[in-house]
Amino acid sequence: MLVEKYIPQGTQGYQSLSRLFSNFDKLFSFSPLRWFGVWAILIAGDNVVSHLSDRWMYWSWNSLSIYLIIALIIFPYLDYLLNSKYEDLKQVNSVSAVGKIFLYGFCLFIVGANPLYLSLEALYFGLPYILFFLVGHITWGISINSGNSNKLLKKEIAPNLCLIILGSLTASILGYINDDPMISTVAAVFLPFPLVALFFPIAIRHLQRCRIYVVFIPTMFLSMRYPWLLGLFCPLFILSRHYYYFTTGKPHPTFKVDHSDEQLV
């Protein structure tokens, strides 16, 4: 990030901008980084309905509607309220948690699809999208906190990685069967990342890449059909990076793989 080079920590400019970005503390208390996933599954619902009427839909500015605008504003806040109340929506550590997150993704998908246009066919086509939503939660549920003094054994994360691989493969196959190039490609492109994390020598950087690309890949693919989404994703990404850099000293989110591998054996 250029700002790291030209406004390094400890300089007067950094201190001044730190005070400026502290004004966004209230906004970031709502966990806006979760909005990427919420927006993606909402748009995935509309994408399925649009796909069923026009498989060749691409770069459609007309896809933005008043209904979607309202949903994209309201549901990130509802997501914040639900996550404040239910810890199961943050960590996938039990079968019941898996069920709750799948149900949550199902509900968001239905909202995005608009219940007025919902059909059994849309629900069937939506299944791999909801499954990939669950894959994303399982991926982020694997802790890679480098501040943790306990070493993380590969055998402890292998079950979750196997679930991620199985879920991604299933989503891709279902998408292929449905002749849906969106989710079949999204899941297939992501699949190598958990495979590497499972079969290559254990390293935090592999898990970090899984986290990065389980969000980046679907959001970018959806943006090819919904170009106005870039007007949501890009500003939030840029603001978040600068906010965390000037408040914590480290830009986040990032594509940089910078975790130490010492916590994994």
Predicted TM-score of the model (pTM): 0.92
Provide, rounded to the nearest whole percent, the portion of the chain with pLDDT above 90: 76
CA-nearest of 43, 158, 40, 33 to 90 is: 33
What separation in angstroms does the CA of 229 have from each of 31, 84, 124, 135?
19, 26, 25, 22
What span, in angstroms and rounded, lies between the C-alpha atoms of 2 and 55? 40
* pLDDT for 229 beyond 90: yes
Q: What is the mean pLDDT of residues 186-213?
A: 94
Q: Name the residue with tokens 């802790």.
A: 143
Give residue 54's pLDDT: 93
> What digits encode the pLDDT tens for the residues 94-131?
888 899 999 999 999 999 999 998 899 999 999 999 99
Structure tokens at 46: 């509309």
* pLDDT for 147 beyond 60: no
Q: Are 208 and 144 a contacting pair, CB within 8 Å?
A: yes
> What digits encode the pLDDT tens for the residues 49-71?
999 999 999 999 999 999 999 99
| 125 contacts: CB under 8 Å, gap ≥ 6 | 48, 51, 52, 178, 180
Q: Name the residue with tokens 């400026």.
A: 20
Give residue 92's pLDDT: 77
- What SS3 string covers 5-60? HHCCCCCHHHHHHHHHHHHHHHHHCCCHHHHHHHHHHHHHHHHHHHHHHCCCCCCC
Structure tokens at 104: 């949550």
Q: Is the peptide bond before 253 cis (omega within 30 degrees of 0)?
A: yes
Higher pLDDT, 170 or 256: 170
Give residue 117's pLDDT: 86
Where is 92: in which H helix or E strand?
Answer: none
122-148 residues labelled b (16+ CB within 10 A) or e (exposed): beebbbbbbbbbbbbbbbbbbebeeee
* pLDDT for 260 beyond 80: no
Q: Is 264 helix (H, G, I), strand (E, B) or coil?
A: strand
Q: What's the whole-number average pLDDT of the chain?
A: 91
Give residue 62's pLDDT: 95
What span, in angstroms and rounded, lies between the C-alpha atoms of 106 and 116? 16
Backbone angles phi, psi at 210, to 5 degrees: -60, -45
What span, in angstroms and rounded, lies between the C-alpha atoms of 115 and 101? 20
Predicted confidence band of residue 262 (pLDDT cuts 50, 70, 90) = very low
Q: Are 35 and 74 a contacting pair, CB within 8 Å?
A: no
What span, in angstroms and rounded, lies between the C-alpha atoms of 58 and 69? 19
| 160 contacts: CB under 8 Å, gap ≥ 6 | 92, 138, 141, 142
Give residue 118's pLDDT: 87
